[in-house]
Structure 1
Amino acid sequence: MIKLLKHLSSYKWMIVGIFVLIFIQSMSTLYLPTLMSDIIDKGVVVGDIPYIWKIGGFMLVVSALGAVASIIASYYSSKAAVGLGRDVRRKLFYHIEKFSLQEFDEVGTASLITRTTNDITQVQQVVIMLLRMIISAPIMLVGGVIMAVLMDAKLSLVIILTMPVLVGSILLILYKGIPLFQTVQKKLDQLNLVLRENLTGIRVIRAFNREPEEKERLKRTNHELTDVSIKVNKIMAFMMPVMMLVMNMTVVAVIWFGGIRIDNGGMQIGDLMAFIQYVMQIMFALVMASMMFVMVPRADVSAKRINKVLEMTPSFKDNGTKRADVQEGTLEFDSVTFHYPGAEEPALSDVSFTAHPGETTAIIGGTGSGKTTLINLIPRFYEIASGTIRVNGVDIREASQEEIRSKLGLVPQKATLFTGTIAENIRFGKEEANDEEVAEAARIAQAEEFVSRMDGGFQAEIEQGGSNLSGGQKQRLSIARALVRKPDIYLFDDSFSALDYKTDARLRSSLKKETGEATVLIVAQRVSTVVDADRIIVLEKGRVAGIGTHQELLDSNEVYQEIVASQLSEEESA
């Protein structure tokens, strides 16, 4: 928590102003009972009406000063806390942007989103309270005790006797309640997990008629959260009644013993009234402190989650800005081996090949053979364990990631679109692309036809995740996004799987003309997609099982023969 609070240094003068304003507010609040005492003893008792008007008017001024100070302090404390949230959120986002996919896999995308939103909001809310109470509560507590002692030292013994009872009660309640708050958070996480799985997996649940079991699962998780929430609220519900009981008993004791002292002439009525007010202020200060003890530990959990991400260092960084020294578009794998973090076996082992401009290199293999992994290594989404990957003759570890990625046009396996227009999504590949370039990329990607049918054409809005488009349409727009960039190397990661055979054939024909001078790397499941490739790489269990043309592999490679036999008839394969 302290690490995050250091970000408030940017608002140090604002915080100083807040503390001054809260000090003014607290002192005005402490001064009012004394003024009230004077009105009673020197005005009401003796019937001095002008004195009552005079001191009453002064009380209004003091009250107004305290109110104005409180309003301004609340405004600036909120502003500082929200500024802290903005700064930490921005810092966290920029830090996450530097992560490789290894860090994303380790923490989880959903968790990163939660830490960037909910956790920061929790800290932000506590900071608002801290800025208001961290000065106010001690001043009210200490000031109230001092003023009460100055009013009547002997009567102050009542406070000294009751305060330990109140503090002990609060600490006992917090001791029982705070651990349960942590349990509530865990149960809430479990409920969110069950809800998310049910909402995202609704098709599977309905397909297998698992609705009753899932309803029971949700009911059980919901009851667990309800039970622990009720338990913690029962405990915390004792706090206010206990405080009120102690406070009222203290007031009763003060009135009892104060009445005796007034009767003996040792105290005036106004002083007793002021003394009661100071007792209430002391108790209220303790209530504020107890609220801090409840909220701070909860925010501290969020702060630790945020700091954990901020303290993570990316598994690799840019090591240089070396430029290409060979023909543009050359891609080379030299004895590349890669392990996923925590995996026992390598995902890729000793992979070597070279792809040249003007050639199409296809990668084919069974599920889990490492095809997508190989593609993900080229933009340096992950760091390889050994070997070398060269783009345009440069080791990707010796060039900046921006430089390497500017040479690539990636179409991922899962088409990802963003909210906005179709044109904006295509321009994601090249921000400065004009309308003609956007339309040309869409035409080559076989997307022009369905785009023209949409209301607004290229200005048609795409909903979140492209939910208003089919899988094939999303894939074609992803391809157009890569085409508009006109990169040296095209990477197609199973990018034609959602297309029908007719569209697939037209698209490959158009691509061949457009990408004639570039290097093309295609990952595919269909043999029909790779038969015309200049080079086919067959992967099996992360290793290269063969490299050659379709006919060469068909004549000599058993793995490729099995793949072909499973998809094509004898006439088609020939």
Structure 2
Amino acid sequence: MLLLAGTILGILGSAATLAQPLAIGEMIKAVAGDRSLFVPILLAAALFVTDAALAAAHAYAIGRAGENIVFDIRHVLTARLLRSRTAAFARWEQGDVFTRMVTDTSLARICMAQALAQIVTSGFMVIGGIALMAWIDPLLLAVTLLCLGLASVVSLLLARRVRKVAVINREHTSDFGSALMRVLGAMSTVKASRAEDRETERITGFARKARRSGVRVSALSAMLTPAMNVGTQVALTVVIAWGMARVATGAMPPADLTSFMMYLFYLVSPLVMLFMSIAQFQQGRAALDRIGELAGIEQEELDPDAAPVATRGHAIAFDRVSFSYPGSEEPVLDTVSFTVPDKGLTAIVGPSGAGKTTVFQLIERFYGPDSGTVLLGGTDTATMPLEQIRGQIGYVEQDHSLMRGTIRENLTYAAPDASEKDIADALRMAHLGEVIRALPEGLETELGERGAGLSGGQKQRLAIARTLLQRPHIVLLDEATANLDSEAEDALRDTITAISGTCAVIAIAHRISTITQADQIIVLDRGGVRATGTHTELTTTDDLYQRLSRHQEVAA
């Protein structure tokens, strides 16, 4: 509605502008007829003031409508991205997503608000001006349109070319953003590898492509105004020459020539703005196409009103589950079956690539199995609402995924309404209470990107405390002790033992020493379950488990 109101205000302003030459023509006629100038001057002044007021209101309405549009687009895109399927999101480069969310949405605002409104108002101004010029002198208008028509054809061709080049420029800009984010996410590796110069040159190459295509967009856009200016200058020259000749012979009144020339002057800016707006609209269309592609990302099936499904039995069970990642023909898991009781510690071990983390992703239903069934409390997770599944499971990733913000914000991320007592209990169980109390600002201490400001072990324990604050029925620990020193590992082992007395804990073991007291250990190898048992049983019955244990003993 605001966009429509702004467009109507622009049209009314254009009408006030179109009436001005007529008012000035009346002033000339009043002078020639020796009549009073009071009414014509008053009318002209009223038109000038009205035009200015409507122009200001038009600009405000269109500007506000544009901001509303970009807000709505970003809101919808954010919601769809956060609800997208993990497999679908993994196919997108983060730099490309960022560019579409920030830059392309800004261009969409120009397209859907400013450019569109300008096309309507400028088009009204051009059509209205031509109609009034035809009313004043059709012959003079025919000559004018001949000159302007040639310039308009050239401008339209340029506008179409601008859109094609703008699409290429958006792609090059996205490539640059992706390359930049790739490096920013691995700054330590870049520095340690002394790759600063190589990466600078690589990223500069993408920036150079974006600059070249951007220059082409600017060059083509810059040609629009001169093309129209040439047409209007030729038209003005012809109108002055032929019009003055007709005035001299008495075929045309001086007041009509003055009004006609004013309309021609008034036509220049709207014509230029019309074709520039068409070019902007074409660029915006390219951005809208890219936004539409992102908005079409495949969504998780979510039904917030779905009733919880009754569960009972084992906490987790895999029944002949097979799974391959999209685009890969090699199965990560092949007919895997095992059960996890509703209490106690279950550990999953195996060499790299055995499918340990994939098991967790299937439990969380980030992915669905290609065949077989994942059961939560005896119920197929495929039939359960996502909110119910993830509300019962706490997940501590190997990469802890802390965010910029305070320690409190990171800690309460999954449980924003947690009480101070619950927070204190979670910190105590994660053996992080003394660390937080030693900080000058305690829980309000600001952390940088990815939890910068804490040590690796402290970050991991904070992620564990965040999970404990959810009070989950099942806790997934993906190599949670990987960044802990021996003292912190001992403390965390005690924490895991305490937690496993009240719920099911499934831990991917980076260190065999952390799971020697596990109730059961599942050994994965080449996508299948190789063996299951306790630490004591497996050290005497399974060669792979023995090798993993010996390797870590030697490494220690």
Q: When the two structures are superposed, what TM-score results if normalisation uses the length of structure 2? A: 0.93
Which residue number in structure 1 is paired with residue 312 of structure 2? 326
Which residue number in structure 2 is paired with residue 26 of structure 1? 14
Matched, 1:41 2:59: no
State the AA in 2 paired with 1:37: G
Decide whether aligned partners of structure 1 residues 40 and 79 sit closer, same or farther in structure 2, where only a CA change above 3 A counts.
Answer: same
Deviation, 1:60, is 1.1
Which residue number in structure 2 is paired with residue 133 of structure 1? 118
Deviation, 1:442, is 0.6
State the AA in 2 paired with 1:520: V
Matched, 1:406 2:394: no
Q: Contact 1:316–1:383 (CA<8 Å) still a contact in 2?
A: no
Decide whether aligned partners of structure 1 residues 495 and 155 sit closer, same or farther in structure 2, where only a CA change above 3 A counts.
Answer: same
Q: Contact 1:140–1:285 (CA<8 Å) still a contact in 2?
A: yes
Decide whether aligned partners of structure 1 residues 96 and 359 sit closer, same or farther in structure 2, where only a CA change above 3 A counts.
Answer: same
Which residue number in structure 1 is paired with residue 158 of structure 2? 173
Cα distance between partner residues in 2 of 1:83 and 1:164: 37
SS in structure 2 opposite 1:334? strand
Which residue number in structure 1 is paired with residue 482 of structure 2? 497
Cα distance between partner residues in 2 of 1:398 and 1:213: 50
Deviation, 1:519, is 0.8
Cα distance between partner residues in 1 of 2:231 and 2:448: 58
Q: How does 1:438-457 map to 2 (within 5 A)?
A: 438-457=423-442
SS in structure 1 opposite 2:39? helix
Matched, 1:558 2:543: yes
Spell out, residue by residue over 1:435-492, the C-alpha distance to the aligned partner (whole angstroms, 9 max, x if none).
1221111111111121111112123233342122222111101111111222211111
Deviation, 1:15, is 4.2
Cα distance between partner residues in 2 of 1:197 and 1:106: 15
SS in structure 2 opposite 1:84? helix
Matched, 1:386 2:371: yes
Q: Select between 435-444 and 180-189 the one with higher mean Cα deviation.
A: 180-189
State the AA in 2 paired with 1:79: R
State the AA in 1 paired with 2:332: A
Cα distance between partner residues in 2 of 1:332 and 1:304: 44
Which residue number in structure 2 is paired with residue 295 of structure 1? 280
Cα distance between partner residues in 2 of 1:107 and 1:220: 21
Q: Select between 77-86 and 364-373 the one with higher mean Cα deviation.
A: 77-86
SS in structure 1 opposite 2:383? coil
Count of residue correspondences: 555
Q: Contact 1:365–1:525 (CA<8 Å) still a contact in 2?
A: no
Which residue number in structure 1 is paired with residue 407 of structure 2? 422
SS in structure 1 opposite 2:91? helix
Q: Contact 2:95–2:179 (CA<8 Å) still a contact in 1?
A: no
Q: Select between 503-512 and 65-74 the one with higher mean Cα deviation.
A: 65-74
Q: Select between 106-115 and 157-166 the one with higher mean Cα deviation.
A: 106-115
SS in structure 2 opposite 1:531? coil
Cα distance between partner residues in 1 of 2:311 and 2:172: 57
Which residue number in structure 2 is paired with residue 243 of structure 1? 228
Deviation, 1:318, is 5.4
Q: Contact 2:346–2:505 (CA<8 Å) still a contact in 1?
A: yes
State the AA in 1 paired with 2:15: M
Q: Contact 2:350–2:523 (CA<8 Å) still a contact in 1?
A: yes
Q: Contact 1:184–1:229 (CA<8 Å) still a contact in 2?
A: yes
Deviation, 1:315, is 5.6
SS in structure 1 opposite 2:103? helix
Deviation, 1:55, is 0.9
Deviation, 1:211, is 3.5
The percent of aligned pairs where both chains have the same amino acid is 28
Decide whether aligned partners of structure 1 residues 558 and 427 sit closer, same or farther in structure 2, where only a CA change above 3 A counts.
Answer: same
Decide whether aligned partners of structure 1 residues 188 and 546 sit closer, same or farther in structure 2, where only a CA change above 3 A counts.
Answer: same
Q: When the two structures are superposed, what TM-score results if normalisation uses the length of structure 1? A: 0.90
Deviation, 1:421, is 2.9
Q: How does 1:279-294 map to 2 (within 5 A)?
A: 279-294=264-279
Q: Select between 140-149 and 424-433 the one with higher mean Cα deviation.
A: 424-433
Q: Contact 1:85–1:120 (CA<8 Å) still a contact in 2?
A: yes
Q: How does 1:203-352 map to 2 (within 5 A)?
A: 203-314=188-299, 316-317=301-302, 321-326=307-312, 330-352=315-337
Q: Contact 1:535–1:548 (CA<8 Å) still a contact in 2?
A: yes
Spell out, residue by residue over 1:215-252, the C-alpha distance to the aligned partner (whole angstroms, 9 max, x if none).
44344444444344334433433322232222122111
Deviation, 1:333, is 1.4
Deviation, 1:176, is 4.4
Q: Contact 1:324–1:393 (CA<8 Å) still a contact in 2?
A: no
Cα distance between partner residues in 2 of 1:107 and 1:184: 18
Q: Contact 1:322–1:399 (CA<8 Å) still a contact in 2?
A: yes
Q: Contact 1:322–1:398 (CA<8 Å) still a contact in 2?
A: no
Cα distance between partner residues in 2 of 1:223 and 1:94: 33
Deviation, 1:47, is 5.3
Decide whether aligned partners of structure 1 residues 317 and 199 sit closer, same or farther in structure 2, where only a CA change above 3 A counts.
Answer: closer
Decide whether aligned partners of structure 1 residues 462 and 164 sit closer, same or farther in structure 2, where only a CA change above 3 A counts.
Answer: same
SS in structure 2 opposite 1:443? helix
State the AA in 2 paired with 1:439: A
State the AA in 1 paired with 2:135: L
Q: Select between 251-260 and 150-159 the one with higher mean Cα deviation.
A: 150-159
State the AA in 2 paired with 1:324: A
Deviation, 1:42, is 2.1
Matched, 1:75 2:49: no
Deviation, 1:109, is 4.2
Which residue number in structure 2 is paired with residue 6 of structure 1? none
Q: Contact 1:337–1:351 (CA<8 Å) still a contact in 2?
A: yes
Which residue number in structure 1 is paired with residue 457 of structure 2? 472
Deviation, 1:322, is 4.8
Cα distance between partner residues in 2 of 1:219 and 1:457: 42
Spell out, residue by residue over 1:515-568, the C-alpha distance to the aligned partner (whole angstroms, 9 max, x if none).
312111001221112221111111112211111111221212122122122111
Q: Contact 1:151–1:271 (CA<8 Å) still a contact in 2?
A: yes
**Stretches of structure 2 lacking an aligned partner (at least 5 in a row):** none
Q: Contact 2:321–2:334 (CA<8 Å) still a contact in 1?
A: yes
Q: Contact 2:96–2:175 (CA<8 Å) still a contact in 1?
A: no
